[in-house]
Amino acid sequence: MCAAGLAAWPGWVLSGCMCRWMAYSGDPILAEELLFRPVHSLIDQSLHSTMGATTANGDGFGIGWYGEGAEPAVFKSIEPAWNDRNLRELAGQIRTPLMFAHVRASTGTPVQRSNCHPFRHGRWLWMHNGALRGFHMIKRDLLMAVDPALYADIEGSTDSEALFFLALTFGLTDDPFGAVERAVGFVEAVGHAHGIEHPVQMTLATTDGRSVWAFRYSSEHDSRSLFFSTDVVALRRLHPEIDILKSLGDETRVIVSEPLRDLEGAWHEVPESSAGVIQPGRDEVRPFRPVVSA
Amino acid sequence: MCAAGLAAWPGWVLSGCMCRWMAYSGDPILAEELLFRPVHSLIDQSLHSTMGATTANGDGFGIGWYGEGAEPAVFKSIEPAWNDRNLRELAGQIRTPLMFAHVRASTGTPVQRSNCHPFRHGRWLWMHNGALRGFHMIKRDLLMAVDPALYADIEGSTDSEALFFLALTFGLTDDPFGAVERAVGFVEAVGHAHGIEHPVQMTLATTDGRSVWAFRYSSEHDSRSLFFSTDVVALRRLHPEIDILKSLGDETRVIVSEPLRDLEGAWHEVPESSAGVIQPGRDEVRPFRPVVSA
Amino acid sequence: MCAAGLAAWPGWVLSGCMCRWMAYSGDPILAEELLFRPVHSLIDQSLHSTMGATTANGDGFGIGWYGEGAEPAVFKSIEPAWNDRNLRELAGQIRTPLMFAHVRASTGTPVQRSNCHPFRHGRWLWMHNGALRGFHMIKRDLLMAVDPALYADIEGSTDSEALFFLALTFGLTDDPFGAVERAVGFVEAVGHAHGIEHPVQMTLATTDGRSVWAFRYSSEHDSRSLFFSTDVVALRRLHPEIDILKSLGDETRVIVSEPLRDLEGAWHEVPESSAGVIQPGRDEVRPFRPVVSA
Amino acid sequence: MCAAGLAAWPGWVLSGCMCRWMAYSGDPILAEELLFRPVHSLIDQSLHSTMGATTANGDGFGIGWYGEGAEPAVFKSIEPAWNDRNLRELAGQIRTPLMFAHVRASTGTPVQRSNCHPFRHGRWLWMHNGALRGFHMIKRDLLMAVDPALYADIEGSTDSEALFFLALTFGLTDDPFGAVERAVGFVEAVGHAHGIEHPVQMTLATTDGRSVWAFRYSSEHDSRSLFFSTDVVALRRLHPEIDILKSLGDETRVIVSEPLRDLEGAWHEVPESSAGVIQPGRDEVRPFRPVVSA
């Protein structure tokens, strides 16, 4: 939490999440390879983030992954990621084809496990970097628009989780792109009605365990950073000297807030106001345009 | 959490709080005297509760007290009370004329600091032992009825906090008895509309730092235990052999879920379906009758 | 922590661990089956222990298991086991042929992750229920006898971990039975020299990932409870009505402080002052006789 | 924990504490004034330290202060200081004439409450910024030299606490300057015997509740930063425009790792290899020269 956040603390007027996250999809990989190997160190980013709005992201972390059973498992904790020995232990035991990982720097809502990402609903995971500005003012309007059948499943108090439940309400499980466009459109409409000029700042990822959708958008069209990895086969040709690439499967895809390490040609920035999907078959990238539903 | 709670865990269908609490009002006293001295051991009750619905109350604790400044301070933690060394340290340093203390055994909502009692709003503190049954079903209806200006101040996800905010909405700060009667009446009405036979189980305490209001009520008229202490002057005459009574001030009043120790004549049970107030001047006890507002 | 422990708190004169534990060896099994299924509920024991010295075991828990890599992984936490949602999540994902699980009720040393069991050294795990009496008095003598090359690997402050490191010093990795007999003999000698009549109370389990050694012994020959499971093939014949037995592998062996559930013929008590080993080939039970090394 | 520390994590070969701390002595002051007011923000330093070896100090914090009773109270937690709401609450209630505050960035030993500073023994508090290099190698030799009567009072596993107990062994309570010189001399001798070139890096503070001793020394004579505050009376004359100075008592003394804010003339650097004492009567500064006891 930055000094400005501290000054506002009693009133909790700030909200949102200034974080770092990473999504992996591909051949089964040991979580440790993604979280702790220096070339893949989200944990290192949690301490020395260079691109984020805050330097340290020590307000909790979470990982979600698909393994036994239909629904993903989630391990979340309010310990700073670099401290948590259980995370280190587990990362050496979890082998998975799809994983979300998130480190949090809160500016407002309490630091508690239920406010850590990724959030889960059924088979779906969701994580967010950004904020819904003026959340304290618009929270009631947003939550009252959540499907009554889903309302009581909301466990925490973040804007990120609220956005997730709005997306679920607007049909995330059938049409992720459309649902998020409608959810963001709704938030912007409510925000504007409350005099908030730029209600939404976000990079987002969501998954059903098969495909991964990612979004980069902000009302002010100056969004947090988001990168996706170059095709591994191509990357091996570019960098035959890097051993780790030989052990990564051909289907490896990684989406990150901040490149895991500088490697020429390894990362492509996701364009401003766009969304994409990693899926069996052909990946897709398209413009992202919030929609206000009737 | 009891075995029944574990069985239901995935669905979080149970809610509520099965706890122990204690309110003190009187001459300034060291918190340690109330929390740890064997004769006053709420901490011991957290481990070996004999009267509660569960044996151990290890899902967090909290204390609220009045000292520096106008608003009360609150120290809450998800560590079981008997483990928390910080609580022990602080209790030896906090001297206060009015203190609330609560140990929690959750049956539903997450164990996190924002779900620990006492809850605070401005000068007011609130703590609860009991449950709003079927809370998962009625939560949205209850929270929609909370004053929109207060809604976003709700930090946690418990029924206890929801009831607090309903009471605030119904005028707690002006008319505590009436506000709680209206809040409970409202919850019962909503519960019945959802087919819940006995929506409310509660012993409650709330305070503005000057007076302490306590309530004992349940829809089924079979409420959790609640006791208040005999006048200390009278108690000294009854028990000249007990040293501690000499050091307690004449104005000492204690309200508890469970007597702190067996002592003949020391405790009076609060009658079923009644409420009372400890205040400067004359204390008062009266029937408690939920009201459904128009 | 019981009231007696609280009374002694400032001086930390009590030490030891009054806990419940369970060891599983057999076909790979989902940890959830052992920890949370009502028929296997060590977590339920953590809240409602009927046979232990204290009712609740809420001072932390730990599990250790063998999976990826040569060394076991360990997940430990100071949250009471019944609260910890991460444990629930992980248990649904960990499939292992050998697992140790332990819930702790401390009476002395701080509640911190490094004081939770099981302890690990290389490939070895170790867990303990009991106490080294007068530990505060004899701690220095015990730790000074630990192999200097191992000394700085001690992370916590419990007697249980101290006993582990003494066993390692006396040759645990080569001769577990002999090493523990020598370690216990040493502790008894030191204890007696300090005027402690009955220095050791223990049920113990240790493993190298292939075999599991268990011990039941106390200086006063009145040891904590310890049971091992009947051969599953035989148990199926005894109880054809119990479905779960059909899904357990034939090689299933379980050693517990307290039977997981009452089931006629399912549990055999380990005799007083004895030790045993579950291993490929033939299991073994033998008397346990502490030895004082020259 | 810096990246180098992460890389070494499995072996725990690094040790020590790279932290920030602050000692206050003077008229009774509300802890909040020292910890959170922007002009006094140690909490802000915990997130944005500019002068320390790491940027964030998120591995726990602690405060110790003198109030009720003879011995100081200690509130310590492994939550990063900027997250801890309880700290914020307490700081608004604690009024004290003498306070130690410390935020920790560990590079080795576990993050647990017993490894947070300040450490306490009887009336004495102790906190440290720095490291005893090669601690894993020399730990046994150091702890064997601790007075056997004190040995079992050591609760954690840090070098900082080990140094404290060596100082106690060498007579801290009678002759603080001499005791610390002898303790440091001993550590250097042991370190050199193990081939460690520069065993000690430290800024230290210790107090008995009346006087505060501070030390700045390192074997390589390139020590962590340490500053003490200018006399408040003089500072008011220098800066009549700063309101806060009018509310600080004339006896205010503050010693810090890092200036709380840039204010011309407010801070004086403690010279390399020196020690000082704040006491009733006349403060003192003198050279610090480690001594090897016979």
- Please state the rounded mean pLDDT for residues B8-31: 67
- Please state the rounded mean pLDDT for residues B104-123: 90
Phi, psi of A6 (to 5 degrees): -65, -45
Chain D hits for A82, Cβ within 8 Å: 1, 6, 58
Angle subtended by helix axes C176-193 and C159-169, to nearest 10: 120
Query: Residue C7's pLDDT is what?
Result: 28
Chain C hits for A83, Cβ within 8 Å: none
Does the structure show a pLDDT above 80 at B106? no
Q: Which of B113, B136, B151 sits opposite A139 (nearest CB)?
A: B151
Is A144 part of the contact surface with chain B (CB cutoff 8 Å)? yes
- DSSP category for residue A92: T
Q: Which of D:7-66 have CB within 8 Å of A?
A: 7, 9, 36, 38, 41, 43-44, 47-48, 54-56, 58-59
Q: What is the mean pLDDT of chain D?
A: 86
- DSSP category for residue A106: B
Angle subtended by helix axes C135-144 and C159-169, to nearest 10: 30
Query: Residue B1's pLDDT is what?
Result: 28
Catalytic residue among B2, B17, B19, B116: B19
Cα distance between residue A275 and residue B41, in whole Å? 58
Percentage of residues in chain A having pLDDT higher than 70: 86
**Number of A:D CB contacts under 8 A?**
72
Phi, psi of C215 (to 5 degrees): -135, 140
Is A173 part of the contact surface with chain B (CB cutoff 8 Å)? no
Is D114 part of the contact surface with chain B (CB cutoff 8 Å)? no
- DSSP category for residue D106: B
Is B90 close to D73, i.e. CB distance below 8 A? Answer: yes
Does the structure show a pLDDT above 50 at A9? no
Is A92 close to C30, i.e. CB distance below 8 A? Answer: no
Q: Which of B68, B75, B94 sits opposite D86 (nearest CB)?
A: B75
Is A56 close to D55, i.e. CB distance below 8 A? Answer: yes
Query: Residue A281's pLDDT is what?
Result: 76
Q: Rg of chain C over CA atoms, in angstroms?
A: 18
- Please state the rounded mean pLDDT for residues B82-110: 90
pLDDT digits (tens, 9 = 90+) for D178-197: 999 999 999 999 999 999 99
Q: What is the mean pLDDT of chain C?
A: 86
Q: Which of D135, D151, D155 sits opposite C140 (nearest CB)?
A: D151
Is C152 close to D144, i.e. CB distance below 8 A? Answer: no
Phi, psi of D121 (to 5 degrees): -150, 115
Identify whether A118 is preceded by a cis peptide bond (ω within 30 of 0).
yes
* Number of residues that make up chain D: 294
Optimal mutation site among D14, D155, D161, interface C, most CBs of chain C within 10 A? D155
Residue C113 has which token pair? 């992750």
Does the structure show a pLDDT above 60 at D5? no
pLDDT digits (tens, 9 = 90+) for A168-187: 999 999 999 999 999 999 99
Optimal mutation site among C74, C77, C79, C86, interface A, most CBs of chain A within 10 A? C86
Distances (CA, A) of C163 to C116, C118, C201, C202: 14, 13, 12, 10
pLDDT digits (tens, 9 = 90+) for C192-246: 999 999 999 999 999 999 999 999 999 999 999 999 887 888 878 888 887 777 7
Is C93 close to A94, i.e. CB distance below 8 A? Answer: yes
User: By mean pLDDT, which of A3-7, A55-59, C65-69, D278-282 is the weakest?
Assistant: A3-7
What ipTM does the predicted assembly reach? 0.87
**CA-nearest residue of chain A to C77?**
A86
Query: Residue B11's pLDDT is what?
Result: 26
Is C148 part of the contact surface with chain D (CB cutoff 8 Å)? yes
Is B103 part of the contact surface with chain C (CB cutoff 8 Å)? no
Highest mean pLDDT among B238-247, C3-12, C142-151 belongs to: C142-151
Residue B48 has which token pair? 């070996």
Q: How confident is the model at residue A287 (pLDDT cuts 50, 70, 90)?
A: very high
pTM of the model: 0.90
Q: How confident is the model at residue B19 (pLDDT cuts 50, 70, 90)?
A: confident
Q: Which of C1, C83, C111 sits opposite B47 (nearest CB)?
A: C1
Q: What is the mean pLDDT of chain B?
A: 86
Cα distance between residue C260 and residue C281, in whole Å? 26
pLDDT digits (tens, 9 = 90+) for C16-59: 556 889 999 999 999 998 888 755 466 665 655 555 555 566 78
User: What letter represents residue A100's amino acid?
Assistant: F
* Number of residues that make up chain C: 294
Does the structure show a pLDDT above 90 at D234? no
Cα distance between residue D261 and residue B199, in whole Å? 56
Interface partners of chain D (CB pairs < 8 Å, 3 or more) are A, B, C
Cα distance between residue C39 and residue C248, in whole Å? 12
Q: C104 or A87: which carries more pLDDT confidence?
A: A87
Q: How confident is the model at residue A8 (pLDDT cuts 50, 70, 90)?
A: very low
Does the structure show a pLDDT above 80 at B283? yes
pLDDT digits (tens, 9 = 90+) for C136-193: 999 999 999 999 999 999 999 999 999 999 999 999 999 999 999 999 999 999 999 9
Is B79 part of the contact surface with chain A (CB cutoff 8 Å)? no
Query: Residue B56's pLDDT is what?
Result: 66
Query: Residue B46's pLDDT is what?
Result: 60
Determine contact, residues A121/A168, Cβ cutoff 8 Å: yes
Does the structure show a pLDDT above 70 at A42? no
Is A113 part of the contact surface with chain C (CB cutoff 8 Å)? yes
Q: How confident is the model at residue B54 (pLDDT cuts 50, 70, 90)?
A: low
Is B145 part of the contact surface with chain A (CB cutoff 8 Å)? no
Query: Residue A257's pLDDT is what?
Result: 86
User: By mean pLDDT, which of A13-22, A213-222, B71-80 is the weakest?
Assistant: A13-22
Percentage of residues in chain A having pLDDT higher than 90: 62
Is D86 part of the contact surface with chain A (CB cutoff 8 Å)? no
Chain D hits for B77, Cβ within 8 Å: 86
Query: Residue A39's pLDDT is what?
Result: 54
**CA-nearest residue of chain B to D62?**
B86
Percentage of residues in chain D having pLDDT higher than 90: 62
- Please state the rounded mean pLDDT for residues A199-218: 97
**CB pairs under 8 A, 24+ apart, for B185-191?**
B185/B290, B185/B291, B185/B292, B185/B293, B186/B142, B186/B145, B186/B292, B186/B293, B187/B132, B187/B138, B187/B142, B187/B163, B188/B219, B188/B290, B188/B292, B189/B292, B190/B138, B190/B141, B190/B142, B191/B132, B191/B133, B191/B134, B191/B138, B191/B219
Cα distance between residue C57 and residue C17, in whole Å? 10
Cα distance between residue B253 and residue B205, in whole Å? 13
Does the structure show a pLDDT above 50 at A188? yes
Does the structure show a pLDDT above 70 at A40? no
Cα distance between residue B232 and residue A192, in whole Å? 60
Phi-psi region of C127 (alpha: psi -120 to 50; beta: other; left: phi over 0): beta
Percentage of residues in chain C having pLDDT higher than 90: 62
Percentage of residues in chain B having pLDDT higher than 70: 86
User: What letter represents residue C23's amino acid?
Assistant: A
E strand residue ranges, chain D: 20-30, 61-65, 73-77, 95-103, 119-121, 124-132, 200-207, 212-218, 227-229, 253-256, 267-269, 274-278, 284-287
Q: Which of B43, B48, B83 sits opposite C55 (nearest CB)?
A: B48
pLDDT digits (tens, 9 = 90+) for B131-142: 999 999 999 999
Determine contact, residues B166/B231, Cβ cutoff 8 Å: no
Is B136 part of the contact surface with chain A (CB cutoff 8 Å)? yes
Is A92 part of the contact surface with chain C (CB cutoff 8 Å)? yes
Q: A59 or D135: which carries more pLDDT confidence?
A: D135
Identify whether D280 is preceded by a cis peptide bond (ω within 30 of 0).
no
Query: Residue C9's pLDDT is what?
Result: 26
Determine contact, residues A24/A251, Cβ cutoff 8 Å: no
**CA-nearest residue of chain B to C111?**
B83
- Please state the rounded mean pLDDT for residues A181-200: 98
Q: How confident is the model at residue B100 (pLDDT cuts 50, 70, 90)?
A: very high
- Please state the rounded mean pLDDT for residues B21-46: 79
Q: Which of B68, B90, B95 sits opposite D92 (nearest CB)?
A: B68
Interface partners of chain A (CB pairs < 8 Å, 3 or more) are B, C, D
Q: Which of B76, B85, B92 sits opposite D68 (nearest CB)?
A: B92
Strand partners, C159: none
Does the structure show a pLDDT above 90 at B48? no
Query: Residue D48's pLDDT is what?
Result: 57
Determine contact, residues B194/B20, Cβ cutoff 8 Å: no
User: By mean pLDDT, which of A3-12, B40-49, C107-116 is the weakest?
Assistant: A3-12
**Number of B:C CB contacts under 8 A?**
71
Query: Residue B61's pLDDT is what?
Result: 93
Query: Residue C17's pLDDT is what?
Result: 54
Is B181 part of the contact surface with chain C (CB cutoff 8 Å)? no
